[in-house]
Amino acid sequence: MKTHSKVIGYLLWIFGFTGAHRFYYGKPISGTIWFFTFGLLGVGWLIDVFLIPGMDRQADLRFASGPIDYSVAWLLHAFLGPLGIHRFYMGKILTGLLWFFTGGLFLLGWLYDFWTLNQQVDELNRSAR
């Protein structure tokens, strides 16, 4: 079953020099490398336009579908992350409130969620079965 969207992947690819699309597809290590090297000085970013369909297939196989939509969680995290809106969406009310009142734990928790959001959604979707 589909867990991730190629459309979202390509939209994030526009900002791919930040590694956003790689984080979305569950590749936090290369996402971090892309972030600090501006997409391997643009070369990796350009190559990724051809790799996104494969990353999308791998994410669909790796992560469990369920009541929490990965794309919604990622969009909420990307645009409203320091306010904890993505955590409220996932039903994590206490940490959502903590993020809301501390700016995503002073942005450190928000950065942590870039690394772990796919696993958080996966765990919640698997426990809902």
Q: Confidence class of residue 16 from pLDDT cuts 50, 70 and 90?
A: confident
> What's the pLDDT score for residue 31?
95
Classified as helix, coil or strand, 67 is: coil
Mean pLDDT, rounded, for 38-57: 96
Average pLDDT of the segment spanning 36-43: 94
Please tell me the predicted confidence (pLDDT) of residue 1. 86
Confidence at residue 28, expressed as pLDDT on a 0 to 100 scale: 97
User: Per-residue pLDDT for 36 more than 90?
Assistant: yes
The two counts, helices (H) then strands (E), for the chain are: 8, 0
Q: How many angstroms separate the most distant Cα atoms in the chain? A: 43
